[in-house]
Structure formats: C-alpha cells, structure tokens
Amino acid sequence: MAETKQNVILFPFMAQGHIIPFLALALHIQKTRKNCTITFVNTPLNIKKLRSSLPKNSSINLVEIPFNSSLHGLPPDSENCDALPYSLIIQLLRASASLKPAFRELINDLICRNNGADAPLCIIADIFFGWTAGVAQEFNVFHAIFSGAGGFGLACYYSVWRNLPHKKGESEDFLLPDFEEAGKIQKTQLALSMLQADGSDPWSLFQGENLPEYVNSNGILFNTVEEFDKLGLKYFNRKLNRPVWAIGPILLSLDNRAQAGKDKESGISSEFCKEWLDSKPEKSVLYISFGSMNVISLSHMKELAMALEASEKNFIWVVRPPIGFDINSEFRGQEWLPEGFEERVILGSKRGLLVKKWAPQVEILSHKAIGGFLSHCGWNSVLEALIHGVPILGWPMAAEQFFNVKFLEEEMGICVEVARGKTCELRHEDIEAKIEMVMSVKSENGIEIRRNVGKVREIVKNAMRDEEYKGSSVKAMDEFFNAALSMKEKNKRKLINGA
C-alpha cells in the first residue's frame, strides 16, 4: 500500500529575506523527507516569481492566496518588500493580516478534500505571521514559527518589542527585563522603529498583535545551531513554554541560489571572481557586503574607501549608490569615491575589486583567499561566513543585526564591531585599525578570532552530520517531525474513538 504523504504547509512573509530561507527549508524537507509533500503559500506575484526560481525537478506545490495592495494604501502590485521604500514596509506587514480569511479557507479545503489525504501535517509560518497559530489551533493542526534570524538576535528583538525597556529610563544603556543574561544593550543598538516606538505607533501596534500570538504555536524552528546559540533558544523555551528546534544552517545550494537569484543583475561572473581570487594569497582578501537591502551614506562610503586604501589589504566590495541616490542607477565611482581611488587601487595595483549590484557571495566566502567579511550581519550572511570559517567585521544597520553583532563579538568571539547604524560618526583610521586587528597574521585578537571561527566551523559541520552519528540540527528536525506526527496521530485516534 502506498505510504500516506504528509503535507507540510510553508508560509513566509512577502520579502526576499523571508521567502529565500523558507525556500531553502522547503528544498531541504523535499530532499530529506521523502514521505512529505510541500505546499508553499504566498500572494500571486510572489508565487509567479517562485515558479520560475524552483529547480526543474521540484515537486513543491505553489499555492496563491489573493492580495490587493491598493486596498491597503500601498501602490498597485506591491506584494514584496522589494518593491517598497522602507517607510511602507510596516504598511505591508499590517496589510498581511488581511490574508487570514483566505489562508483559513485554504487549510479548511485541504482538510476536507480528497478524503483528508491532503490534510496538513503542520503549518510552518513566518515570525511576522503570529496569527496563523490561531488558524492552526482552530483546525487542530500542528503549528511552528520558522525564524530565519538566530536565537539570540530574535530573543533581544522579541524582548525589546514586548517591554520597550528603553522608554522606561533616561539611561543610554539598559538590561532587558526578561533576558538579563543578554547583557547591557545600548540605545545605539536599537533599530529606528524601536527607538521611535511609543506603544501606539504602527510598529508597536503591529508587534503588539503579532508577538503575543507566539504562545499559540507549538514551537519555534530556528535556522541556527544549538551548540552556539543556547542563550536565545533557552529564552524562548522559557518565555513561551514551548519547544524550540535549532535545525540550521539550512541554506540554498549553489545551484539553487543561481536559480533563485537569476533575476538579480549580477555585477560580476563567478568565473571572473574565482580567477581574481585565485591570484591572491590565502586569507588575504576582505569581502565587503551589506546584504540585499542596505546602502550606506556617501560620507561613510568615502571613509570606508580611504580605510581600504590605507590598509593595503586586498578586497572585494559590493558597491551600490549611496543613501539618497536611486538604488537602480549606475554606480558613479568617480563622484562617490575619493578622487583617483579607482585608478590607484582597482585599475593600478589591482588590489581591489568593486562589484556593482550583486556578487556571488557564497562562492566568494568559500574561496581560500578570503580572510575577513565586513558585513551588516544579516543572519544569512552570518551563517554563510560561519560555514566557511570566515572572521567577521560587523557593521549592523537594521532590525536584529545589532544584537547579532553583539552576540558574535561578546559571546562567540568571532567578530569585531566596526561601525553601528547608518548615521554613526566614522573615521577611516578606526576602520583601518579594525581591519588590521582582524586580518593581520601578527594581531593577537586576529589569531584568537581565527581560532574561534575554526572551532565554530567544526560545530556547524557536526550539527548537520547525518550518518551513523546524527548532529544536533538533524536530531532537532527529527524531533520536530515526530512532534507533528504524534499530534496528527492523536487527533486521528480521537476522531475514531469519538465516532
């Protein structure tokens, strides 16, 4: 008799930084759990884009639910943060609650049709879709939140939004009342939306509705590794009285990355990048990228360029037009970089490579010539650095990135903070000194950081081991599926006994 397939519902928020980790999770489940089918839910335009970015042999079911952005004060066809300025992202977040009736109908339909053969085993939803837990409860379906952010970063983020501790005193730093073990947080480590929150602004209202719903979920899946992220994982375990499963790092394979990012305008070919890196000594190149969304100010860009020139280190820098200029316009190096910079450092000594728009980041980080990564510390970038054992120079810019940097520096000892936020005071001498500290073979701190990064790389490898010995992340994924299956079985027995 054919084995019953277990339907796993995946539902990310409509932003590339959320859809991509969910896609990586979907492909991972597809590969490792042959008895599962996957239903990937999103709005029509996102599903259309996903259809062309799935590998050809994929059996993932893409299901769209209707969404009309114009009804929520958004420009027409705004279904992804990609298409919106920062100021409108909160509007898309709040508008996403309008997906509830259609999502509810979808779950109901899956349960009723086909003699229940398509009934969900579980719903795995975004950290911004707390309301889906209520829908799952209504239908007695197992529910988990999937966090693409790390445990420590999300714990600080959750605690700040739940308590707004920075509003309770004048001090420039404070402890989180329910997460004191995180240590002192400085006001400069808060994203703008947190700093401006007063409990009645749109972000406070959104988080005030979203986060309390977490207790209705059966647990949280984290794209992280238990061995190094215990503090944050324990926080959620304690706060929600629910299990947490550290199942990471789950990232797209190189092939799937190429497929998923094929609409990105690449600034350089992987082959050219590799050739250039092949010509450089081991661990001699600093890679600089601020992720998929962030750009820096013109004055920061100039200071960074001066620091790179003075450091005499090799570098690959993903450059985009500075804040205030059209993100899609041509990069004007002659105007935005110090005079003669490109002639001297790029064309002359060939010490540096400027990549305009988009770089093959994982290929770069995996090359042995890379010795450091100056990053905004979005969690995907962090995981990609850890997998390849690359020391980090942190420059957080938004969301939970500030807490990630604090964690990587203070708890893990694999990072040095270079700058903080988009408007901080920044001197090129300080950046240069920190580059030297992390990359120089003679620097005590650098030696310590490289040693720690090496240890973390081993921990990460072991966590994903799936041979005779199972790593912690593989075990956590088993535990998650066992919990979901056991709830489904229990419900079935109840139904039979009750009938």
Judged by the rule CB under 6 A, the positions of this chain that interact with ligand UDP are 17, 289, 291-293, 318, 358-359, 361-362, 378-381, 384
Asked whether the CA dihedral 393, 376, 151, 225 is positive or negative, the reply is: negative
Beta strands in 89-233 (DSSP E): 120-126, 142-147, 173-174, 185-186, 220-222
Closest to ligand UDP by CB, 37 vs 381, is 381
Name the minimum Å distance from CB 319 to ligand UDP.
10
Name the minimum Å distance from CB 420 to ligand UDP.
16
The label of the residue with tokens 């205030």 reads 324
The label of the residue with tokens 């499963």 reads 245
Name the minimum Å distance from CB 387 to ligand UDP.
11
Cα separation of 146 and 84, whole Å?
24
The closest alpha carbon to 483, from 245, 300, 247, belongs to 245
Closest to ligand UDP by CB, 204 vs 381, is 381
Closest to ligand UDP by CB, 4 vs 269, is 269
The closest alpha carbon to 13, from 134, 149, 165, belongs to 149
Query: Who contacts 337 (Cβ-Cβ below 8 Å, separation ≥6)?
Result: 301, 302, 305
Name the minimum Å distance from CB 363 to ligand UDP.
9
The closest alpha carbon to 359, from 287, 268, 280, belongs to 268
Closest to ligand UDP by CB, 45 vs 359, is 359
Name the minimum Å distance from CB 250 to ligand UDP.
12
Peptide bond into 249 cis (omega under 30): yes
- Closest residue to ligand UDP in the complex (CB): 378
Name the minimum Å distance from CB 309 to ligand UDP.
22
Cα separation of 43 and 46, whole Å?
6
Name the minimum Å distance from CB 101 to ligand UDP.
29
Closest to ligand UDP by CB, 336 vs 358, is 358
Closest to ligand UDP by CB, 103 vs 276, is 276
Closest to ligand UDP by CB, 305 vs 398, is 398
Measured CA to CA in angstroms, residue 117 lies from 14, 56, 211, 330, 405 at distances of: 28, 25, 32, 52, 46
Cα separation of 280 and 254, whole Å?
23
